[in-house]
DNA sequence: TTGTAGGCGTTATCAA
DNA sequence: TTGATAACGCCTACAA
C-alpha cells in the first residue's frame, strides 16, 4: 500500500509551505499571489490530492457529517427522506450518515450513541418516537451529550425529547383522511393503526377519533385494529378486521404502505375497492398512484420535511436561531380508492 | 459549546496515562492489571466518554467506513441493497456511507472522488455501469486511487472496471424471464429496456435476444422500447409501444419497477393483464407481490448480494484472497401476471 | 504575501 | 504492567 499523498507532498511539489497549500485549498478568501495559487492548484491536480476528511475534522470543529436515523431505509417513506437528506446535505458540502433503528428503542439508543464517535454536525430523527417515559429520558440524555458537543438535532415528527421539529400535524392529517370518507357518507369506518406507543401512531389514531367526534359518530373499538408499519402489517390487520365480522364500509390506514397491504387483503377476500369498501392512506408515496385502484391519500411534501430539516441544521450551525416547531402543509389527494356511500 | 471529553480527561480521572486508557478502551489484548482496567472503565463511564472516530482513523489505517454508491436510494431495489449493506456493516462494527449517483457518469465520478476524503475501508458499486470506454477508464482511475490507499472495492453487477463482482447473471436472468413467456406460447414479445449503455440494460436485452434465438423466433426491433428505470419510465415506454400499433401478447420488463409502470399503462389502455397481455418483471421486490395482478418475476436474493459483498470486503481487509466473480442463483417466480397464449 | 510551529484526539513505539 | 512521546494530516495563530 502506497503512502497516501498529503498536504506535505503538495507543498513540496509546488515549492511552498504547507500553510500556503492549506490556505489555497480550504480557506479561499485568504490573500495569496495568483502565481503561487496557480502553482499549488496545479501541483494538487498533478498529485491527485484530496484533503483527508479525518485530519480536517480533527482540527476544524466540523465533521461535515449529518447523521440520520430512520426506522427502516428499505421502507419507501424513509427512502424518500434519506434521498432528500442526502441531496440537501450534499448541496452544502455535507454527507449523510444513515442508520436504521427498526423501531427498536434499544437499537435507537445504541445508534445515537454510536453516532457520537463521529461528532456529526447535525442529527435528524426521521421516524416517530416511542412514548415511553423511561425511553424518552434516555434518548434525551443521548441527544444531550451530542448537543453539548455541537451537534444540532432536529426531528421529523413530534418528538417528546424537546428537540426542534419539522413535521406535519399528524392529528390533522388523520382527521382529514377520516373526514374525507365521512363526508362521502361512510359511517362505519375502520382504522388500521401502526405499532402503538409511537408518536405517529397515537397522533393519527387521535385524528381519527376527532373526526368521528366532530361528526357525532360513535367510537367503536371493534373498528380499530393494531398492526405494523409494513405491507404485511396492513395485510394482517385487515385480515383480523375481516375475521371479526364487524360491519364497515371504509378503512383509514395509518400509512400508504399499510393501505396497500389492506388492499391486497380486501382483494383476496373478494371485497372490491372502492365499490364495497373505500380505502384511504397517508403519505402519498409514489407507489400509491401505481396500485389499482390508485390510492386516495393525504399528501405532504415528504422530501421538503427533510430538506427543511437540513436547512435548519445549517442555520443553527451558522449561529442563527431556529424555530422550535415547523409545521408543513398537507392536502387530501382524492384518487380512486374512495367513493360515496351508499353506492 | 463545552470542550469535548477526550482520552486525556479519562486518564486524569483514572490517574493513569493516556496510553493505558487507550489500551483498555481500544480493547487490544495488551496486558493491563485488573484494578487499573476497572478504574479506567469506571472513569470512562462516569465521563460518558466515546473515542473520537476521526482521531482514531487518523492514526490507525482503518476508518471503519464502507462506502456505497447506488443509482438512487429512493428506488426500492437500491433501498433493499442499502439496508443489507447497512446491516452487514454494522454487524462487523463498520458504518455505511451512502451516495446516489442518479446514473449520471459525472456524478458517479464526483461521488467516488469525494469518497476519497473519507478513505473508506470498502467501496461497493451497487448499480450497473455505463459502458462507455472513456468513462470506464476514468472510473477505473478513480477506483485505482482509492484502492492504492487501501480501499477494497466490489461491484454488485458486471463492472468493466475490473473490480471483483458479486452479481447475478443478467443475461441468464432476462433469458429466463423471456423463455417463461415463450414456453407459455407467446410469440410476439415486447421488451422494455432501461437506459441504454448500462451493463444491466445491455445484458438483459441480450438475454431477451438469446431466448428468442433459442426458440427460433425473429428479433423485431419494433418490439423493443427504450425507457428509464422508473415507474414513469415503464409507463411511458409502454405508451410508446402501444402507440406504435404493433402486435404483441407479452411484455418483458427490465425491472419490476418498470413492469409496474407498464401495468399502469396497460390498465389505462384497457388491456387486461394477463388475459390479453402477459407481463414479467425482474428483481422480485416486495412491491411486486402487492400489485394486482401479482407480478411474475425473476427472483434473486437482493440482500444477499450486498451481504456477500460486505463479507468479501472484510475478508480482503483481513488479507484473504477474494474471488473475482461471484455469481448468485436466481429463479423464476410465477405469479398471476402471465398466462398461456393463446387463451 | 508566505512560513513556522503548535495542537486537534488517538494509537503505537519505546523505555522504564 | 505502565508511562512518555512521536506520529497521523491538517489548520491557524503568530512571525517574518
| Local mean pLDDT, 10-residue blocks, chain A (343 residues) | 80 94 88 92 94 95 96 98 98 96 97 95 97 96 94 97 98 98 98 97 98 98 98 98 98 98 98 98 98 98 98 96 98 98 80
Instruction: Phi first, then psi: give them for residue B67, nearest 5 degrees.
Output: -85, 145
Inter-chain Cβ pairs, chain A and chain B, closer than 8 A: 139
Specify the pLDDT at position B27: 72
| Plot region of B73 (φ>0 → left; ψ -120 to 50 → alpha; else → beta) | alpha
Taking an 8 Å cut-off on Cβ atoms, the answer to whether B50 and A113 are in contact is: yes
B53 touches strand C (CB under 7 A): no
Where helices occur in chain B by DSSP H, the ranges are 7-14, 18-25, 34-47, 53-59, 76-91, 105-115, 133-147, 170-183, 199-214, 231-244, 256-268, 302-317
Specify the pLDDT at position B31: 86
A123 CA – D12 C1', rounded, Å: 28
Specify the pLDDT at position B3: 63
Chain segment B48-88, per-residue pLDDT in tens: 999 999 999 999 989 999 999 999 999 999 999 999 999 99
CA distances from B80 to B17, B122, B283 (A): 46, 19, 11
Coil vs helix vs strand at B198: strand
Locate the chain B residue with the closest alpha carbon to A261. B290
Q: How many C-beta atoms surround the C-beta of residue A143 within 10 A?
A: 20
| Rg of the Cα atoms in chain B | 25
Q: Where in chain A is the domain with CATH 1.10.260.40?
A: 7-51
Chain segment B111-150, per-residue pLDDT in tens: 999 999 999 999 999 999 999 999 999 999 999 999 999 9
B10 CA – C8 C1', rounded, Å: 17
Q: Do A119 and A340 contact (CB within 8 A), yes or no?
A: no
Out of A50, A72, A264, name the one closest to residue B113 (CB).
A50
May I ask the CATH architecture of the domain A7-51?
Answer: Orthogonal Bundle (1.10)
A61 interaction partners in chain B (CB closer than 8 Å): 1
Chain segment B195-218, per-residue pLDDT in tens: 999 999 999 999 999 999 999 999
Locate the chain A residue with the closest alpha carbon to B4. A149
Nearest Cα of chain B lies from the Cα of A98 at a distance, in angstroms, of 7
Taking an 8 Å cut-off on Cβ atoms, the answer to whether B58 and A58 are in contact is: yes
Taking an 8 Å cut-off on Cβ atoms, the answer to whether A74 and B97 are in contact is: no
Specify the pLDDT at position A4: 79
Give buried/exposed letters for B236-254 (b at 16+ CB in 10 A, else e). bbbbebbeeeeebbbbbbb
For cell 393463446, name the residue.
B342
Closest CA to A234 of A190, A265, A203: A265
Q: Taking the CA of residue A213 as centre, how many other CA atoms within 13 Å lie in the half-sphere pointing to its CB?
A: 7
Average pLDDT estimate for B274-301: 98
A40 CA – C2 C1', rounded, Å: 13
Quote the CA–CA distance of A333 and A14 in Å, as a whole number.
61
B120 CA – D16 C1', rounded, Å: 40
Residue nearest C8 (alpha carbon to C1')? A59
Taking an 8 Å cut-off on Cβ atoms, the answer to whether A264 and B48 are in contact is: no
Residue nearest D2 (alpha carbon to C1')? B20
Nearest Cα of chain B lies from the Cα of A85 at a distance, in angstroms, of 11
Closest CA to A53 of B4, B89, B316, B65: B65
| Rg of the Cα atoms in chain A | 25
Query: Which CATH topology does B63-168+302-327 take?
Result: Rossmann fold (3.40.50)
Chain segment B255-276, per-residue pLDDT in tens: 999 999 999 999 999 999 999 9
Quote the CA–CA distance of A105 and A128 in Å, as a whole number.
11
Q: Do B287 and B297 contact (CB within 8 A), yes or no?
A: no
Q: Is the pTM of this model over 0.85?
A: yes
Chain segment A155-170, per-residue pLDDT in tens: 999 999 999 999 999 9
Taking an 8 Å cut-off on Cβ atoms, the answer to whether B90 and A99 are in contact is: yes
A188 CA – D16 C1', rounded, Å: 85
Average model confidence (pLDDT) across chain B: 96
A335 CA – D3 C1', rounded, Å: 73
Taking an 8 Å cut-off on Cβ atoms, the answer to whether B4 and A119 are in contact is: yes
DSSP letter at A273 equals T
Enumerate the nucleotides of strand C whose atoms come under 7 Å of any protein CB. 1-13
Specify the pLDDT at position B29: 82
A75 interaction partners in chain B (CB closer than 8 Å): 79
Q: Where in chain A is the domain with CATH 3.40.50.2300?
A: 63-168+302-327, 170-300
Out of B50, B57, B98, name the one closest to residue A116 (CB).
B50
Contacts of B125 (CB under 8 A, 6+ apart): B69, B153, B154, B155, B156, B157, B159, B163
Taking an 8 Å cut-off on Cβ atoms, the answer to whether A54 and B119 are in contact is: yes
Specify the pLDDT at position B1: 43
Nearest Cα of chain A lies from the Cα of B143 at a distance, in angstroms, of 13
Nearest Cα of chain B lies from the Cα of A7 at a distance, in angstroms, of 13
Nearest Cα of chain B lies from the Cα of A316 at a distance, in angstroms, of 13
Question: Closest nt to A60 (CA→C1')?
Answer: D11
Specify the pLDDT at position A3: 66
Q: Does domain B170-300 have CATH number 3.40.50.2300?
A: yes
Enumerate the nucleotides of strand D whose atoms come under 7 Å of any protein CB. 1-5, 7-13
pLDDT confidence bin for B4, thresholds 50/70/90: confident
Quote the CA–CA distance of B175 and B321 in Å, as a whole number.
32
Report residue B238 as a C-alpha cell: 409502454
Locate the chain B residue with the closest alpha carbon to A70. B83
Out of A54, A72, A113, name the one closest to residue B54 (CB).
A54
B62 touches strand C (CB under 7 A): no
B57 interaction partners in chain A (CB closer than 8 Å): 54
A20 CA – D15 C1', rounded, Å: 15
Amino acid at each position: 500500500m502506497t503512502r497516501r499523498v498529503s498536504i506535505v507532498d503538495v507543498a513540496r511539489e509546488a515549492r511552498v509551505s504547507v500553510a500556503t497549500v492549506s490556505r489555497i485549498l480550504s480557506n479561499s478568501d485568504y490573500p495569496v499571489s495568483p502565481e503561487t495559487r496557480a502553482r499549488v492548484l496545479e501541483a494538487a491536480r498533478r498529485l491527485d490530492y484530496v484533503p483527508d476528511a479525518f485530519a480536517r475534522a480533527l482540527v476544524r470543529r466540523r465533521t461535515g457529517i449529518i447523521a440520520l436515523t430512520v426506522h427502516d431505509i428499505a421502507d419507501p417513506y424513509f427512502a424518500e427522506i434519506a434521498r432528500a437528506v442526502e441531496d440537501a446535505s450534499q448541496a452544502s458540502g455535507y454527507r449523510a450518515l444513515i442508520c436504521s433503528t427498526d423501531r427498536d428503542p434499544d437499537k435507537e439508543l445504541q445508534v445515537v450513541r454510536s453516532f457520537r464517535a463521529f461528532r456529526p454536525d447535525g442529527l435528524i430523527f426521521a421516524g416517530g418516537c416511542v412514548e415511553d417515559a423511561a425511553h424518552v429520558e434516555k434518548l434525551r440524555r443521548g441527544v444531550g451529550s451530542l448537543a453539548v458537543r455541537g451537534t444540532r438535532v432536529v426531528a421529523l415528527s413530534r418528538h417528546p425529547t424537546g428537540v426542534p421539529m419539522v413535521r406535519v400535524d399528524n392529528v390533522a392529517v388523520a382527521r382529514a383522511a377520516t373526514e374525507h370518507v365521512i363526508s362521502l357518507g361512510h359511517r362505519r369506518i375502520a382504522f388500521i393503526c401502526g405499532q402503538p406507543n409511537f408518536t405517529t401512531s397515537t397522533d393519527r389514531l387521535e385524528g381519527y377519533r376527532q373526526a368521528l367526534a366532530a361528526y357525532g359518530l360513535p367510537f367503536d373499538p371493534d373498528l380499530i385494529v393494531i398492526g405494523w408499519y409494513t405491507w404485511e402489517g396492513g395485510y394482517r390487520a385487515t385480515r383480523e378486521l375481516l375475521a371479526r365480522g364487524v360491519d364497515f364500509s371504509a378503512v383509514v390506514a395509518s400509512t400508504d404502505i399499510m393501505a396497500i397491504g389492506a388492499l391486497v387483503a380486501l382483494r383476496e377476500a373478494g371485497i372490491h375497492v372502492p365499490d364495497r369498501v373505500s380505502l384511504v392512506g397517508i403519505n402519498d408515496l409514489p407507489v400509491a398512484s401505481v396500485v389499482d385502484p390508485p390510492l386516495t391519500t393525504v399528501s405532504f411534501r415528504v422530501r421538503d420535511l427533510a430538506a427543511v430539516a437540513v436547512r435548519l441544521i445549517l442555520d443553527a450551525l451558522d449561529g442563527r436561531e431556529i424555530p422550535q416547531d415547523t409545521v408543513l402543509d398537507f392536502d387530501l389527494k382524492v384518487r380512486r380508492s374512495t367513493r360515496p356511500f351508499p353506492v
